[in-house]
A = this chain, B = another copy of it.
Amino acid sequence: MLAIMIGVTACATPAMQSNVSETVEQQILDAARSGSQGYLIVEGLTTEVGQRLAGTEAEARARDWTVEKFKEIGLQNVRVEPFTIPGWERGVETATIVSPYPQQMVVTALGGSVATPFGGVTAEIAYFPTFEDLVSAPAGGLDGKIVFISGLMDKAPDGAGYGPANQKRRSGASEAAKRGAAAVVIRSVGTDSHRFPHTGQMRYAPDLPKIPIAALSAPDANQLERMFEREHSVTMALNIQPRASGDMPSGNVIGEIVGTERPDEIVLISGHLDSWDLGTGAIDDGAGIGISAGAAQVLIEAGLKPKRTIRVVAYGAEEVGLLGGFAYRDLHKEDLINHVLATESDFGSTPAYEVLLGVTEGQEVIKAAADALGLPMGERGTNGGPDIGPIAALGVPTMRFQQDGTDYFDLHHTPDDTLDKIDPDDMAENVAAFALMAWLAANAETDFRSDTGN
């Protein structure tokens, strides 16, 4: 109730409701909604760079591209904050049913997976309908087998199905290795029924053998399940040859609209620059780059000068473990107290349907933005987005526009994540939200922290 009361009170404060303020706010919304700033940025990035896997020369080209773009749209203090990551690159990948029904399947290695032995591994498949079935299987008994973990993912606007479905991707290799398996194939973590595999990062538990793990497309996982309905024994030849490429460069690209009154205080808006290597990273997360940089562009083009600094961050190496987010945290550790609000767009290009709070004070400012955008406040809290998580954990206030991700996992981490999936009007609406929120936060009296003045 307190939160609601604050919100109601906020709507009546003179600062928020003055005609001047309303005019500027409306000007921002109109400029964003009638413009193409965000769409043109994601179009440029996905066309002129394409895929940009973390640590590769393609990600380096993406940084160069972004530095140029940030300068071109008028951002100040444009720079790269470099860091080093463990490189990983994809190689050959094939999955062949040897018996009883010989045929090829569509497969892709999960990020971080080791390779199969050269030439691949051929073994009988042990089928587990769900990840839980594997976890509850006894120790041993899978010696030398290829484990197949299936299990469907539910669709939801907030992506609630992703966490549960993702357990097999994150932990499937080690759970299978613990029981003696030679390799793992999973049903892709996704909600589509197209013949695309979904990649994504996996993790090895310490002190267990590292075995290769790959994802089958949904139609291939269905096919394999039908084979098990017919036969008890199915043999697969799996050959994936990714390689760890040692220390490789990554980096966060930063640009700013320097504040006129409190330039040291930062409102941070962001997306991540790296993508998986299969698609061109349009919805994940070229959209987030376009939304955050496009929002800054709208303010610059309107000649608006925020009191605080608005900082745009294009994080590197998000996909492989939020490495850009952690690098930012480490480099800016001493300065995090000056970060007044931070957010990220990393859930595609569909507009928000609600606004989430990760602040204890100043909620009225965020609610004013939500009101102006016609968005309700959500019940859940937020840590601001994947790359914001590390600084949110150290006290940086956050908020998030909860974009509608109902269809996000149809495309997520597949070859089909391409520009044609993005609606320019959707991008404009997201840019409007980011521009308005950044503007209001940069000019608000509050610093969104409960310990202000302590």
Which A positions have Cβ atoms within 8 angstroms of B? 43, 46-51, 58, 61, 97, 100-104, 106, 193-196, 218-219, 222-223, 226-227, 230, 279-280, 414-416, 418-421
CB distance from A420 to the nearest CB of B (A): 5
CB distance from A244 to the nearest CB of B (A): 21
Copies in the complex: 2
* CB within 8 Å for A219 and B51 given contacts A195-B279, A196-B195: no
* CB within 8 Å for A420 and B101 given contacts A106-B415, A227-B47: no
* CB within 8 Å for A418 and B219 given contacts A48-B230, A103-B51: yes
Q: How far is the CA of A416 from the CA of B219 in the complex (A)?
A: 8
* CB within 8 Å for A47 and B420 given contacts A195-B279, A223-B280, A279-B195: no
Q: Which residues of B contact A51 (CB under 8 A)?
A: 103-104
26 contacts between A and B (CB under 8 A): A43-B226, A47-B226, A47-B227, A47-B230, A48-B230, A49-B101, A49-B103, A50-B97, A50-B102, A50-B103, A50-B223, A51-B103, A61-B102, A103-B280, A106-B415, A195-B196, A195-B415, A195-B416, A195-B418, A219-B280, A219-B420, A222-B418, A222-B419, A223-B280, A223-B418, A226-B419
Q: How far is the CA of A416 from the CA of B420 in the complex (A)?
A: 18
Asked if residues A420 and B230 are in contact (CB atoms below 8 Å), the reply is no
CB distance from A322 to the nearest CB of B (A): 25
Q: Which residues of B contact A223 (CB under 8 A)?
A: 46-47, 50, 280, 418-419
Most chain B CB within 10 A, of A103, A226, A421, is at A103
Asked if residues B48 and A193 are in contact (CB atoms below 8 Å), the reply is no
Asked if residues B50 and A419 are in contact (CB atoms below 8 Å), the reply is no
Q: Which residues of B contact A97 (CB under 8 A)?
A: 50
Q: Which residues of B contact A196 (CB under 8 A)?
A: 194-195
